Structure 1
Amino acid sequence: MKHLILPTLVLALAGCGQAPEPDAQATVSITDATCRPTPNGLDVTGCYVTLTASHDDRLVSISAPQAGMAQVHEMKIEDNVMKMAELKDGLALPAGEAVSLSPGGNHMMLMGLKQPLVAGEQVSITLNFEHAQPMGIRALVAQPAVDGDHASPH
């Protein structure tokens, strides 16, 4: 009996904590990827993108080799104070609905940048989803367009 308990325990534990397999049919289209240039002396910046999922999904994390840390943040006003915090449960992406990460709202935050981001360069970012395959993007470093301004950030 002792000989059966250990292998059974090992098999049971092996299944714990594993991420679900990506769904090959779940896709996310990504447009308008932009990161702000970093002002002198700062090692943080915001990045923006529009995501449209084919199925209900969730942006669960991001990473960028240029940054020590990368997070998806929400921005909200509480008691007349603007607050920013990581979306620990990720960002919901309802099927077929364009979800914009934009200035003044939800956004991606790159922190601990290894070098300043200069306008005209590109930044590599990997977006990880609950169902869709991870996607690597190249975001243009430029001032982002503001709501109602559809001019190209070039």
Structure 2
Amino acid sequence: MKRLSFLFAALSLSTAAFAGAADDVVVHEPYVRLAPPNAQATGAFMVLRNTGSKDAKLVKADNPASRLTELHTHINDKGVMRMRQVPAIDVPAKGEAVLQPGGLHVMLIDMKAPLSEGQVVPITLTFDDGSSKQVDVKVVKMMSAAMPMKHGQH
């Protein structure tokens, strides 16, 4: 009986170890920008709200629609806005990170096939504690989608 109790205790501790930032970070208003038919890249945007008491860091994103997925931001390089990959996106405890056009975002690069309006792209977000969550993100046509996003050099 002691072994069984020990096993249950160990299992509950290991489950607690996996319950991390992914459980505390809530995703609001996610969308993928519909890109022109021949575009090789597009962006995913959302608000990440951390309901937990510890800071979280988004360190990776992945999806089945593109061959490469990166975390990006825009920088002003001598008056020219350029996209650059970032190693992580901080989501402060009891705070939020806003992923939006012209700022932080998830970049879907080298599309496997054109996306269509209303299509859902599952994006897996992975945090620095190893926890992850999948978010179903709808493809939305935007006014600015007429201009393809330009992927800058890293």
1:114 and 2:104 are equivalent in the alignment = no
Whole-Å Cα distance in 1 between the matches of residues 127 and 113 of structure 2? 27
C-alpha distance after superposition, 1:75-94 (max 9, x if no partner): 12121011111102x11111
Instruction: Give me the CA root mean square deviation.
Output: 2.1
Task: Return the TM-score normalized by structure 1.
Answer: 0.74
Whole-Å Cα distance in 1 between the matches of residues 131 and 111 of structure 2? 26
Alignment check: 8 A CA contact 1:34 1:141 kept: yes
Query: Which residue is equivalent to 2:93?
Result: 95
1:123 and 2:121 are equivalent in the alignment = yes
> Per the alignment, in what secondary structure is the counterpart of residue 59 of structure 1?
strand
Extract unaligned runs of 5+ from structure 1. Answer: 1-20, 147-154
Task: Return the TM-score normalized by structure 2.
Answer: 0.74
Alignment check: 8 A CA contact 2:73 2:102 kept: no
1:43 and 2:40 are equivalent in the alignment = yes
Change (3 A) 1:23 1:64: same
Query: Which residue is equivalent to 1:64?
Result: 63
Alignment check: 8 A CA contact 1:28 1:132 kept: no
Whole-Å Cα distance in 1 between the matches of residues 84 and 32 of structure 2? 18
Structure having the larger proportion of residues in helix:
2
Whole-Å Cα distance in 1 between the matches of residues 17 and 91 of structure 2? 15
Query: Which residue is equivalent to 1:15?
Result: none
Change (3 A) 1:35 1:22: farther
Flag as ranges the 4+ runs of structure 1 deviating above 6 A.
none
Whole-Å Cα distance in 1 between the matches of residues 108 and 143 of structure 2? 19
Q: Which amino acid aligns with 2:68?
A: M
Alignment check: 8 A CA contact 1:62 1:126 kept: yes
Extract unaligned runs of 5+ from structure 2. Answer: 1-15, 145-154
1:33 to 24, 30, 33: 30
Q: How many residues align?
A: 125
Query: Which residue is equivalent to 2:150?
Result: none
C-alpha distance after superposition, 1:58-85 (max 9, x if no partner): 0001000111000010112121011111
Q: Which amino acid aligns with 1:24?
A: A
Query: Which residue is equivalent to 1:24?
Result: 19
Alignment check: 8 A CA contact 1:57 1:92 kept: yes
